[in-house]
Homo-oligomer: A and B are copies of this chain.
């Protein structure tokens, strides 16, 4: 079986590091999908504007082609091992990904360009299918979802004064501020770092910014509360 790449994602996430681990966790995330020839005829998306949400089937192109039967999901702290087919890990046979995204609009250049929100796709992701979301066929009531019954917990995010000023000076400052908070509240650090004292600095790239942050942890007897503190926003050129 061979697959054609029907289109390519241009994403607010230049790097894998920091991307929320499912779509919808960062509703302010934006992307465009441009079609490759011969899939780029405007006829192909006729009527698609009637749908608010789409399934994007894509390839985890940055993941290695090798896979293993067992993976360690971050949700389980990075220690417990479960089957690759019981996970949404990117290290899977065929490296196929699936994301439910919001369709904001369609532009024509004259080939169609889909304007997407709430995605979890790294820049340059190759797309292999697009389907409209059908609520009555694509959702299950009272579904049991094992070790991931709810969205992952969120941390509080605090922006330094310097960051607030950088954002205020930009026309896209408000949406960018939302995106920074949504992404960092997921705690992008590797799972094994989460439950120790951690004094290092981290950076997540969002749009043209390197978002630099560190963790502040209050340790009370029997409690351990972390806050993400954003120190600086460095413009990448």
A47 near B3 with CB under 8 A, answer no
Which residue on B lies nearest to A1, using beta carbons? B3
Contacts of A86 in B (CB 8 A): 45-48, 50-51, 132
Q: What residues of chain B lie closer than 8 Å to A134, measured between beta carbons?
A: 22, 88, 145, 148
A137 within 8 Å of B (CB atoms): yes
CB of A24 closer than 8 Å to a CB of B: yes
Number of copies: 2
Interface string of A26-65 (1 = CB under 8 A from B): 0000000000000101011111101111010101000000
Interface size on A (CB < 8 Å)? 65
Contacts of A147 in B (CB 8 A): 47, 50
- Cα A94 to Cα B6 in complex, Å, equals 9
Which of B4, B53, B131, B136 is close to A88, meaning CB atoms less than 8 Å apart? B131
Indicate if the CB atoms of B39 and A93 lie closer than 8 Å. Answer: yes
In the complex, identify which listed stretch (A96-104, A197-205, A207-215) lies at the interface while the others stay far away. A96-104
Interface centre among A50, A57, A83, A96 (most CB of B within 10 A): A83
- Interchain residue pairs with CB less than 8 A apart (22): A1-B4, A1-B59, A1-B128, A2-B2, A25-B137, A43-B70, A44-B70, A44-B84, A46-B82, A48-B86, A50-B144, A51-B143, A51-B144, A52-B144, A53-B143, A55-B98, A57-B98, A86-B132, A133-B140, A133-B145, A134-B148, A135-B143
| Given A1-B4, A47-B146, 14 further pairs, Cβ under 8 A | A1-B2, A1-B59, A24-B137, A43-B83, A45-B86, A46-B70, A46-B83, A51-B144, A51-B146, A52-B145, A96-B128, A100-B137, A136-B145, A138-B139
